[in-house]
């Protein structure tokens, strides 16, 4: 069985603060993908990143960075110098490779509120 | 280009009635997914279509739920004899293909309220 846990229900920060969103996953599969999605108030889920279980390199994209640690089954997401536009619900998700398609299992999401 | 579109954006129905929700995927995308987002269950996978192959229905919560995809493009999710627990946002996504390496593009969702 697959499970994704996002223990932080809601985080409030002030603009320019750094913030880390935690994601812990459980899977018996040896190969899988991990994802982060953003859901702004408009409601559409926006893809942020996909990480293959073979690749533990950290990734940085502008103000966003991701830390994948297989040893602790975690895939944390850090926003540096947060902005008001970062306010959204962020979902971590897992897809095992054995199903033949991208069957996403989502965490419950973390609501990020960035105030000016 | 145009993204995934869904209609209606909002639907209010009485308990026991049938509803149909529509999804127009991105042109050229062969894979199509339906998800449900509710307060109680979070975001859950419902069904997956790939081209003309038989769909993966493993996420459908009951036999009141069904979906079809005509001509490998537009999809309709049907809920029969709606119940109050069916109230949720129903999201559709499409991707170039079904492989795990292809990004899913999501539509804005249909908010279903069963009274």
DSSP string, A50-101: EEETT----EEETTEEEEEEGGGTEEEEEESS--GGG-EEEEEEEEESTTSS
Contacts of A46 in chain B (CB under 8 A): 106
Q: What is the pLDDT of residue A58?
A: 84
Identify the contact set of chain B against chain A, taking CB-CB distances under 8 A: 3, 31, 33, 35, 42-45, 48, 50, 56, 89, 91, 93, 95, 98-109
Give A40→chain B minimum CA distance, Å: 11
Tokens coding B107: 């539509």
Q: Report how far residue A68's alpha carbon sits from residue A74's, in angstroms, rounded to the nearest whole number.
A: 6
Mean pLDDT to the nearest integer, A57-72 = 91
Cβ pair B100:A102 closer than 8 A: yes
pLDDT in tens, B1-20: 589 999 999 999 999 999 99
Residue A8: asked if its preceding bond is cis (omega within 30°), the reply is: no
- Judged by CB atoms closer than 8 Å, whether chains meet at A104 and B45 is answered as yes
Q: How far is A71 from chain B (nearest CA, A)?
A: 23
First to last CA, chain A: 41
Phi-psi region at B61: left, alpha or beta (left = phi > 0; alpha = psi -120 to 50): alpha
Element (H, E) at B49: strand B42-50
| Dihedral angle of Cα B47, B60, B81, B113, to the nearest 10 degrees | -70
Q: What share of chain A in percent tops pLDDT 90? A: 77
Q: And the tokens for B81?
A: 């004899």
The residue behind tokens 């996420």 is B59
Output the CA–CA distances (angstroms, integers) from residue A29 to A25, A80, B37, B112, in the order listed: 11, 32, 25, 35
Collapsed DSSP state (helix, strand, coil) of residue B10: strand
Determine contact, residues B11/B19, Cβ cutoff 8 Å: yes
CB B102 within 8 A of CB A102: yes
DSSP three-state, residue A86: helix
Of B100, B104, B107, the CB nearest to A47: B104
> Quick one: average pLDDT of A81-97?
94
Q: Counting one residue from A and one from B, how many pairs have CB atoms under 8 Å apart?
A: 58
pLDDT, one tens digit for every residue, chain B (115 residues): 589 999 999 999 999 999 999 999 999 999 999 999 998 778 999 999 998 888 999 999 999 999 999 887 999 999 999 999 999 999 999 999 888 778 899 999 999 999 9
pLDDT score recorded for residue B1 = 58
């Amino acid at each position: 069985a697959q499970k994704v846990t996002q223990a932080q229900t809601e985080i409030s920060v002030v603009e320019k603060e750094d913030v880390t969103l935690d994601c812990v996953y459980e899977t018996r599969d040896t190969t899988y993908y991990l994802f982060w999605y953003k859901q702004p108030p408009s409601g559409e889920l926006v893809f942020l990143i996909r990480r293959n279980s073979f690749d533990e390199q950290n990734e940085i994209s502008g103000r966003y960075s991701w830390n994948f640690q297989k040893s602790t089954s975690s895939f944390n997401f850090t926003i540096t110098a947060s902005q008001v536009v970062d306010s959204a619900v962020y979902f971590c998700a897992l897809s095992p490779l054995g199903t033949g398609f991208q069957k996403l299992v989502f965490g419950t999401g973390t609501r990020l509120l960035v105030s000016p | 280009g145009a993204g995934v579109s869904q209609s209606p954006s909002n639907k209010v129905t009485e308990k026991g009635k049938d509803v149909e929700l529509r999804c127009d995927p991105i042109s050229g995308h062969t894979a199509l997914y339906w998800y449900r987002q509710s307060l109680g269950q979070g975001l859950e996978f419902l069904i997956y279509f790939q081209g003309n192959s038989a769909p993966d229905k493993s996420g459908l919560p009951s036999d009141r739920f069904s979906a079809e995809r005509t001509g490998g493009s537009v999809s309709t999710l049907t809920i029969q004899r709606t119940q109050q627990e069916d109230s949720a946002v129903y999201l559709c996504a499409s991707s170039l293909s079904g492989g795990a390496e292809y990004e899913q593009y999501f539509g804005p969702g249909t908010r279903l309220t069963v009274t």
